[in-house]
Chains A and B, each alone.
Chain A
Amino acid sequence: MAQVPVQTIPRDPQLFYWILFPITVVMILSGILRHYVTVLLATPPKKQDQKTMREQRSLVHGVNVRTNFHVLSKSSFNSRREALTTAYESGAYLKDPDRRGQPPPNPMSDPSSMDGMMGMMKNQMAMIIPNTLIMSWINAFFSGYVIMKLPFPLTIKFKSMLQAGVATKDMDPRWMSSISWYFLCIFGLQAVFNFLLGSDNAANQMAQQMGQMNPQQQPFGPGVDPDKQFLAEVENLAVIEHYSVLDDVEKRLLEGITS
């Protein structure tokens, strides 16, 4: 393998003070600022009236009985199942009993679900705007030269991405412009934010937050018909074959002692 001569470019040491540190400091501070802005702007969850709460909580009750039936004795499980089933089928828990059979309210026109969507959009805005601003700032001020060398080699294809402003043919892809330092910082500073702000900070990657928010939204989100959910829950409760963890507990206890 022919030895490629190591490309060294002598650089002004002032480069570090004027470029590297400012970008790093700006990104750390903007992350901290974003976290605190998110915390301050977060609207408290809206208090809902008693009927809506009852509707939601009764469904959760049904789900809990279904998943944890094994800690109940047979009689208490059966009594719970019958009470819930009659209530679900007669619509005793519904918010608007007159609207049974009608399609669920349009999410755009239903005011109670708008707040949830606004919260998600605000978080997204809080993430996108600072990143866009910083990227345009870097492109305006810091383009046209390379600042640092990556410790490990990359393929040629990365050159177009990482050496944005400098169009040369022969330069090693290890040399990067400042925009690639920006990308490195986005990924790498999450560890620093974890350390500074605790693990629930809002400066984490958006994907993490979106993934956690979406599954929670489904049961009570806009456009879901509670009546159908109740009837589905009735069926789920009906198919359960009940057994309890207390059934053979004496045998297990004796086995544990004698071993």
Chain B
Amino acid sequence: MPTEKEFQIAPIVQESVMHNSKALYNLQSVTASLFGVSAGILGLESYNGFLFYVVFTMLTSVLFYALHVAPTSIASGKGALDTSRYFRGPYELWTGGLFNGLAGFILTWTLFYGLVRA
């Protein structure tokens, strides 16, 4: 945990933090709805459907990391999986998005499952 003095030397700007999490949240919502469409069309049932969602959301997070966070983060000397330049805590990037998109995923999954399965 950085000390309070280090926080004062390099302050965490509230607006930037919010912008980062908002960008991640928007992306997670849209991709979750799209994954629901594909899960419904594929006709996946209970556990398979959720597993599909989890796997592909993690894939989205990895891609997001590789394409957005990594270039500047590695250039500034951080390790290969460190997200501390942009996000507070690793869980926010990797696993936080699961619950954000769950509602949208279930909605579109149910809709397309009912439509396609007939």
Contacts and interface: CB of A to CB of B under 8 A. Distances in A.
Interface residues of A, number: 26
Interface in B55-114: 101, 103-104, 106-111, 113-114
B11 to A, nearest CB: 9
Nearest to B114: A148
B46 A195 contact: no
Contacts of B5: 70, 245
Contacts of B33: 188, 191-192, 195
A152 B22 contact: no
Interface secondary structure of B, over-half rule? helix
A150 B111 CA distance: 9
B67 to A, nearest CB: 20
Given A151-B113, A184-B110, A190-B104, A13 B118 contact: yes
A149 B104 contact: no
B115 interface: yes
A149 B113 contact: yes
Given A192-B33, A245-B8, A20 B111 contact: yes
A159 to B, nearest CB: 17
Given A188-B104, A191-B32, A153 B114 contact: no
Nearest to B29: A191
Nearest to A243: B5
A185 B114 contact: no
B12 interface: no
Nearest to B7: A70
| Most chain B beta carbons < 10 A, residue from A20, A148, A191 | A191
B26 A194 contact: yes
B44 interface: yes
Given A148-B110, A190-B104, A195-B26, 7 more contacts: A24-B111, A71-B8, A149-B114, A152-B45, A152-B50, A181-B110, A190-B103
14 contacts: A149-B114, A149-B117, A150-B110, A151-B49, A187-B103, A187-B106, A188-B104, A190-B104, A191-B30, A191-B33, A191-B101, A192-B33, A194-B29, A245-B8
Interface of B: 5, 8-9, 22, 25-26, 29-30, 32-33, 39-40, 44-47, 49-50, 101, 103-104, 106-111, 113-115, 117-118
Interface of A: 13, 16, 20, 24, 70-71, 147-153, 181, 184-185, 187-192, 194-195, 199, 245
